[in-house]
Amino acid sequence: MGINLNPFTWWNGATVGTWFGLRGKTSVGEDALGNVYYQGGTDTAGRPRRWVIYSGSNDASRVPPDWFSWLHHQVDDVPDRSLPEPRRWEKPAAANLTGTAMAYRPAGALEKGGRRAPATGDYEAWTPEG
Protein backbone atom coordinates (compact mmCIF):
# COMPACT_ATOMS: atom_id res chain seq x y z
CA MET A 1 0.00 0.00 0.00
CA GLY A 2 1.30 3.39 -0.88
CA ILE A 3 1.22 6.60 1.08
CA ASN A 4 -1.76 7.80 -0.97
CA LEU A 5 -4.10 5.33 0.75
CA ASN A 6 -2.81 6.02 4.26
CA PRO A 7 -5.34 8.79 5.09
CA PHE A 8 -8.24 6.48 4.24
CA THR A 9 -7.22 2.94 5.23
CA TRP A 10 -6.94 2.72 9.00
CA TRP A 11 -6.62 -1.09 8.92
CA ASN A 12 -3.19 -0.91 7.23
CA GLY A 13 -1.57 1.21 9.93
CA ALA A 14 -1.83 4.60 11.55
CA THR A 15 -3.58 7.30 9.53
CA VAL A 16 -2.40 10.86 9.09
CA GLY A 17 -4.82 11.97 11.82
CA THR A 18 -3.25 9.53 14.26
CA TRP A 19 0.22 10.81 13.48
CA PHE A 20 -0.92 14.41 14.06
CA GLY A 21 -2.48 13.32 17.36
CA LEU A 22 0.84 11.88 18.51
CA ARG A 23 2.66 15.21 18.20
CA GLY A 24 4.14 16.08 21.58
CA LYS A 25 3.69 12.54 22.93
CA THR A 26 6.65 10.51 24.14
CA SER A 27 7.75 7.26 22.53
CA VAL A 28 8.42 4.90 25.44
CA GLY A 29 9.38 1.68 23.70
CA GLU A 30 9.08 -0.90 20.97
CA ASP A 31 8.26 -4.61 21.17
CA ALA A 32 9.76 -7.54 19.28
CA LEU A 33 7.11 -7.25 16.54
CA GLY A 34 8.04 -3.64 15.77
CA ASN A 35 4.98 -2.01 17.40
CA VAL A 36 5.82 1.39 18.92
CA TYR A 37 4.25 2.58 22.19
CA TYR A 38 3.53 6.19 23.17
CA GLN A 39 2.47 8.03 26.31
CA GLY A 40 1.34 11.58 26.92
CA GLY A 41 -1.44 13.69 28.34
CA THR A 42 -4.00 12.38 30.82
CA ASP A 43 -7.34 10.67 30.57
CA THR A 44 -10.47 11.65 32.53
CA ALA A 45 -9.29 9.62 35.54
CA GLY A 46 -5.99 11.50 35.63
CA ARG A 47 -3.91 8.56 34.39
CA PRO A 48 -1.45 8.97 31.51
CA ARG A 49 -2.89 8.17 28.06
CA ARG A 50 -1.14 5.35 26.21
CA TRP A 51 -1.14 4.30 22.55
CA VAL A 52 0.26 1.59 20.31
CA ILE A 53 1.16 2.18 16.66
CA TYR A 54 1.18 -1.20 14.95
CA SER A 55 3.92 -2.32 12.61
CA GLY A 56 1.76 -3.63 9.77
CA SER A 57 -1.94 -4.37 10.03
CA ASN A 58 -3.94 -3.10 13.00
CA ASP A 59 -4.55 -6.29 14.95
CA ALA A 60 -4.84 -6.14 18.73
CA SER A 61 -3.68 -9.75 19.06
CA ARG A 62 -0.25 -8.56 17.88
CA VAL A 63 0.33 -6.76 21.20
CA PRO A 64 2.43 -9.01 23.48
CA PRO A 65 1.04 -9.65 26.99
CA ASP A 66 3.67 -7.54 28.75
CA TRP A 67 2.89 -4.47 26.65
CA PHE A 68 -0.86 -5.18 26.97
CA SER A 69 -0.47 -4.87 30.74
CA TRP A 70 1.31 -1.52 30.26
CA LEU A 71 -1.38 -0.20 27.88
CA HIS A 72 -4.11 -1.08 30.38
CA HIS A 73 -2.30 0.46 33.39
CA GLN A 74 -1.68 -2.89 35.10
CA VAL A 75 2.00 -1.90 35.43
CA ASP A 76 3.24 1.66 35.83
CA ASP A 77 6.62 1.48 34.10
CA VAL A 78 7.44 0.00 30.69
CA PRO A 79 7.68 -3.82 30.70
CA ASP A 80 11.42 -3.89 30.06
CA ARG A 81 12.03 -2.23 33.43
CA SER A 82 9.07 -3.35 35.54
CA LEU A 83 8.54 -7.04 34.69
CA PRO A 84 10.85 -9.96 35.46
CA GLU A 85 12.73 -11.76 32.73
CA PRO A 86 10.67 -14.43 30.92
CA ARG A 87 11.22 -17.97 32.13
CA ARG A 88 12.90 -20.62 29.99
CA TRP A 89 9.69 -22.53 29.41
CA GLU A 90 7.63 -19.50 28.31
CA LYS A 91 6.90 -19.28 24.60
CA PRO A 92 6.92 -15.93 22.81
CA ALA A 93 3.53 -14.35 22.15
CA ALA A 94 1.94 -15.20 18.80
CA ALA A 95 -0.63 -13.26 16.82
CA ASN A 96 -4.15 -14.63 16.34
CA LEU A 97 -4.08 -16.59 13.05
CA THR A 98 -7.85 -16.92 12.66
CA GLY A 99 -8.89 -15.89 9.16
CA THR A 100 -5.43 -16.43 7.67
CA ALA A 101 -3.94 -19.29 5.68
CA MET A 102 -2.08 -20.38 8.82
CA ALA A 103 -5.27 -20.84 10.90
CA TYR A 104 -5.96 -24.20 12.54
CA ARG A 105 -8.29 -26.40 10.53
CA PRO A 106 -9.33 -29.80 11.91
CA ALA A 107 -9.45 -32.90 9.74
CA GLY A 108 -13.16 -32.50 8.89
CA ALA A 109 -12.87 -28.89 7.71
CA LEU A 110 -13.81 -28.12 4.11
CA GLU A 111 -10.35 -26.67 3.52
CA LYS A 112 -8.89 -30.08 4.44
CA GLY A 113 -11.17 -32.06 2.12
CA GLY A 114 -14.32 -32.20 4.26
CA ARG A 115 -13.75 -35.81 5.40
CA ARG A 116 -13.31 -36.67 9.02
CA ALA A 117 -12.14 -39.91 10.57
CA PRO A 118 -14.91 -42.45 11.18
CA ALA A 119 -16.37 -42.67 14.67
CA THR A 120 -14.63 -45.01 17.08
CA GLY A 121 -17.73 -47.13 17.74
CA ASP A 122 -18.60 -45.76 21.17
CA TYR A 123 -21.54 -43.81 19.78
CA GLU A 124 -24.97 -45.34 19.35
CA ALA A 125 -27.57 -43.29 17.49
CA TRP A 126 -30.95 -42.83 19.15
CA THR A 127 -34.01 -44.13 17.33
CA PRO A 128 -37.60 -43.43 18.34
CA GLU A 129 -38.52 -47.13 18.30
CA GLY A 130 -35.73 -48.05 20.73
- Per residue in 25-73, pLDDT (tens digit) is 888 999 988 899 999 888 888 999 998 888 877 788 888 888 999 999 9
pLDDT beyond 90 at 112: no
User: Contact 17/32 with Cβ under 8 angstroms?
Assistant: no
Q: Please state the separation of Cα 84 from the chain's center in Å.
A: 22
Q: Which residues have a Cβ under 8 Å from the Cβ of 76 and sit 6 or more positions away?
A: 82
Residue-level pLDDT at 1: 46
How do the domains of the chain map onto residue ranges?
Answer: 27-86
pTM for this prediction: 0.64
Query: How far does the chain reach from its first CA to its final CA, in angstroms?
Result: 63
Question: Taking all residues of the chain, what is their mean pLDDT, rounded to a whole number?
Answer: 80
Q: What H or E segment, with its residue span, contains residue 42?
A: strand 36-42
